[in-house]
Amino acid sequence: MKLAAKFFTPLIVFTCMHSMSGQRLQRSDPYSVGSVVASYRPSQASLDQRPFSRGATFASVSSLGGQLQLATNLNRQIGLRGTYGWLFLKRWETYRGFTTHGLVSMGSMGMMLDFYPFPDHALRFTPGVLFHNAEVASGDFPLTAGLGGAFTLNGHKYYSAAQPVKYDPNVAPEDQGPVHAYEGVNLRRTAFTISAGWGNLASSRNDRHWTFPIELGVALLGSPTIKTGFISGQLCEAAGQNCIAASKSPQLRQDLEADFAGYRNHLPLLKTYPIVSAGIAYRFDWKLAGRH
């Protein structure tokens, strides 16, 4: 037994000293009598290696609209980031001689993995996935003048009802008056993203809490489509009689699809949507239960 103790005692002492290397010793009670109770606090490098030990909140202005983000670390070289954004634009467009407004409305949520090839530097590469609403752009287009009249679509001539002085209570409001068409641009709901940025959101390589991250990349949105939504108003004979709801005319819907087909030539530009982002982030330590 004495021989075994002489052999293993130096090994145990060496192992304990090695496990506590890089950590600072501090006395938990400097006034204790008869004994010194030692404890240790993890070093900052050790803190970075623990998953979910650090975090950052991030507000930015980007091509995806205003964004709020929350980031945390998985280890010193990989971070996890969640985003929420909303893009809303209103633009006046001219169609068939009439000026109307078009809307771009895109709400998005994303999950990204930030890879830091050099943990002590701010450069990062980020793949991710983006979820958003399917219809991202829309517009309500009048097909004829406000007082009614003739219009031609895809070689077919139609006559729109004039705006009545008093609506017919037996007919739905949307089926009265001049003809309007509602068109929308649809995208698939899920997109993959790839980007590069500067700013280590959950690192502790220095004591600064505030950082100013930037990011450049693309979102692979896929092939967009134009969808004809509801059609409102009434179609009539040339004399303005025997009117029917425009929404019940299959021929009108087909001609609208053909008329808007020319806009599809511009849609491939949306397949790769640019991501440009700049903002301000605040870094902090997570105060989780069971961690000291």
User: What percent of the chain is predicted at pLDDT more than 90?
Assistant: 26
- Do 188 and 148 touch, CB atoms closer than 8 A? no
How far, rounded to the nearest angstrom, does the alpha carbon of residue 89 sit from its chain's CA centroid?
15
Domains in the chain: ranges and CATH: 55-285 (2.40.160.170)
Note the pLDDT of residue 145: 60
Binning pLDDT at 50, 70 and 90, where does residue 290 land?
Answer: very low
Give Dmax (Cα) for the chain: 118
Note the pLDDT of residue 255: 87
**Integer Cα distance of 17 and 120 in angstroms:** 27
Average pLDDT over residues 34-49: 49
Measured at the CA of 90, the angle between CA 85 and CA 92, to 5 degrees, comes to 155
Is pLDDT of 210 > 50?
yes
Is pLDDT of 41 > 80?
no
Is pLDDT of 291 > 70?
no
* Residues 6 or more apart in contact with residue 47 via CB below 8 angstroms: 53, 54, 204, 285
Note the pLDDT of residue 35: 43
Q: Which residue has the higher pLDDT, 182 or 252?
A: 252
3-state secondary structure 109-176: EEEEEEECCCCCCCEEEEEEEEEECCEEEEEEEECCCCCCEEEEECCEEEEECCCCCCCCCCCCHHHC
Is pLDDT of 214 > 80?
yes
Is pLDDT of 32 > 80?
no
Average pLDDT over residues 154-171: 73
- Do 258 and 153 touch, CB atoms closer than 8 A? yes
Note the pLDDT of residue 1: 45
* Residues 6 or more apart in contact with residue 138 via CB below 8 angstroms: 102, 103, 105, 182, 183, 184, 185, 229
Is pLDDT of 218 > 80?
yes
Q: Which of 122-131, 232-241, 275-284 has the lowest mean pLDDT?
A: 232-241
Note the pLDDT of residue 136: 84
**In this predicted model, what pLDDT tens digit does every residue of 47-102 receive, in sequence order?**
556 888 888 999 999 999 999 999 999 988 899 999 999 998 887 666 665 666 67
**Integer Cα distance of 96 and 142 in angstroms:** 8
How many C-beta atoms surround the C-beta of residue 139 within 10 A? 19
The single residue listed with the structure tokens 């029917």 is: 244
Note the pLDDT of residue 47: 52
Is pLDDT of 221 > 60?
yes
For the chain, the average pLDDT equals: 76
**In this predicted model, what pLDDT tens digit does every residue of 180-205 receive, in sequence order?**
887 788 888 999 999 999 988 766 55
Note the pLDDT of residue 115: 94
**Integer Cα distance of 51 and 236 in angstroms:** 69
Is pLDDT of 126 > 60?
yes
User: What percent of the chain is predicted at pLDDT more than 70?
Assistant: 68
